[in-house]
Structure 1
């Protein structure tokens, strides 16, 4: 069983359900999907800080994957990502090193806001958690409440040697990066449901997945051609 903790933002609820559809129809292994949703802090997504409590939620046992989810689309089998787990690391992430090309995000929606650069931006949007790791046992609700967002998103409780690196195709930032081999499309600027982003990279795949979700009927050849 692959344990997935998926960020749920009610402002992008359709994105969450499209993500779940894309994950379920491509997986070759059973998955357990737990949505993360809670009180917002600092005007951020409701699940921004809950992601750092995944080891706590699992009673510090086993492995788990956190994903932003509401603005993501699976384009590959989640089992292939799960097989990349490295027991010597506390976490594994795609280590983005970039400066944004866009000063605004969620353009044309009530969510529109400045799109700022900061160190290790989007590293924490996909995390392979080694929940057993002793270094992750500090991650309690009190610890998360007592530390700033910048500290947490930079994985400040860990030495760099315990932050493993995943291949770039497992978290491709749409509108910021180009990668035709993307295995996860991350619409970090806005999902295709929003008018401004309806023609972005991998928007066709997103809308096709949404259509299959709404139809409630899926044919395997449709998945192969998505």
Structure 2
């Protein structure tokens, strides 16, 4: 069987260009086929969003990743406000069958009280761990993650991975979820995460490492100008 990267990407119509720019960056660097699932609310027929405390449209539905993959194999979830600068196969090669999922285990407090579109940027345990997840979809503990279950849970429960034990959560290198502005400039980061605001927004157009996003967007739009 040909290896294929299954990638669920957060989609919010308010920054749709971010999704397309991110997927462009993955395609450009990937050495294996990729299968993208845009996590758009209008396509999730079995999931009804009941949460009102969300800063984007996929803040809770991201936990549907094992369900969307029929609880089989491995899949990646990533926020749409990212740029990939490495072969996505390198991330898949970090799979550990002994773990339910793997994440970058950030340990930081945000420098900013506000982020894109005026959303409050709070500090909380395991902040940004769930923004990039390498899922072992077949892990038995994920069977609980059905659409109805996720719709009924709090952000605290889901984003802290409360259905898992700490030993179930593997660790990825920080370079695979490098937080622009929050962390020092690192142009060699494998995946840049514009967590405070994608450079598509005017307020973040010229922030740290924004040039990498703009260069990718230009290649995406090549031929349309």
TM-score relative to the length of structure 1? 0.90
Moved more, 91-100 or 194-203: 194-203
The aligned residue for residue 11 of structure 1 is 14
Cα distance in 2 for residues equivalent to 1:87 and 1:52: 19
The aligned residue for residue 223 of structure 1 is none
Alpha-carbon offset, residue 58 of structure 1: 1.3
Alpha-carbon offset, residue 179 of structure 1: 4.9
Cα distance in 2 for residues equivalent to 1:40 and 1:26: 37
Moved more, 39-48 or 165-174: 39-48
Is contact 1:23-1:74 (8 Å) kept? Answer: yes
List gaps (5 residues or longer) in structure 2.
Answer: 42-48
Which of the numbers 111, 130, 136 marks the counterpart of 1:101?
111
Is contact 1:90-1:133 (8 Å) kept? Answer: yes
Matches within 5 A, 1:17-32: 17-32=20-35
Q: Give a deviation string over 1:14-55, Cα, whole Å, max 9, x none.
A: 111110110101101000001001147324211111111111
The aligned residue for residue 60 of structure 1 is 71
The aligned residue for residue 87 of structure 2 is 77
The aligned residue for residue 177 of structure 1 is 183
List gaps (5 residues or longer) in structure 1.
Answer: 218-226
Is contact 2:111-2:182 (8 Å) kept? Answer: yes
The aligned residue for residue 102 of structure 2 is 92
Is contact 1:40-1:46 (8 Å) kept? Answer: no
Which of the numbers 152, 155, 160 marks the counterpart of 1:149?
155
Cα distance in 2 for residues equivalent to 1:94 and 1:58: 22
Q: Give a deviation string over 1:133-181, Cα, whole Å, max 9, x none.
A: 1111111112212211111000000000000000000001111012523
The aligned residue for residue 45 of structure 2 is none
Cα distance in 1 for residues equivalent to 2:70 and 2:200: 36
Between the two proteins, the alignment pairs up a number of residues equal to: 212
Is contact 2:185-2:209 (8 Å) kept? Answer: no
Cα distance in 2 for residues equivalent to 1:32 and 1:20: 10
The aligned residue for residue 2 of structure 1 is 5
Cα distance in 2 for residues equivalent to 1:207 and 1:117: 28
The aligned residue for residue 46 of structure 1 is 57
Moved more, 40-49 or 27-36: 40-49
